[in-house]
Copies of this chain bind each other. A is one copy, B any other.
Amino acid sequence: MAQTDTVTRILDTAEVLFAERGFAETSLRTITSKARVNLAAVNYHFGSKKSLIQAVFARYLDPFTVRFHHALDELEAQYAGGVIPLEVLLETMARTVLDVPAERHSLKVFMKLLGLAYSQAQGHLRRYIQDEYGSVFSRFTDLVRLATPDLPDSERFWRLHFVLGTVIFTLSGLDALRDIAEKDYQEHVSVRDLIRRLRPVVVAAMNAPLPPPPMPKAEAS
Evaluate contact between B214 and A208: CB separation under 8 angstroms.
Answer: no
Give chain A's interface residues, CB within 8 Å of chain B: 20-22, 24-25, 115-116, 118-121, 126, 153-155, 157-159, 161-170, 172-173, 176-177, 180-181, 184-185, 187, 189-194, 196-205, 207-212, 214, 221
> How many of these chains are in the complex?
2
Q: What secondary structure prevails in chain A residues at the interface with B?
A: helix
Evaluate contact between A187 and B154: CB separation under 8 angstroms.
Answer: yes
The 10 closest A-B pairs by CB, nearest first: A165-B169, A190-B221, A204-B208, A119-B119, A24-B24, A154-B185, A200-B208, A204-B204, A165-B166, A162-B166
The interface centre, meaning the residue of A155, A169, A176, A204 with most chain B CB atoms within 10 A of its CB, is A169
Residues of B within 8 A of A121 (CB): 20-22, 25
Minimum distance in angstroms from A154 CB to a CB of chain B:
4
8 more A-B residue pairs beyond the given contacts A192-B221, A203-B208, with a C-beta to C-beta distance below 8 A: A118-B173, A119-B120, A154-B181, A157-B184, A196-B212, A199-B211, A201-B205, A204-B209
Evaluate contact between A191 and B221: CB separation under 8 angstroms.
Answer: yes
Evaluate contact between B158 and A22: CB separation under 8 angstroms.
Answer: no
Q: Which residue of B lies closest to A152 (CB)?
A: B185
Residues of B within 8 A of A197 (CB): 155, 158-159, 211
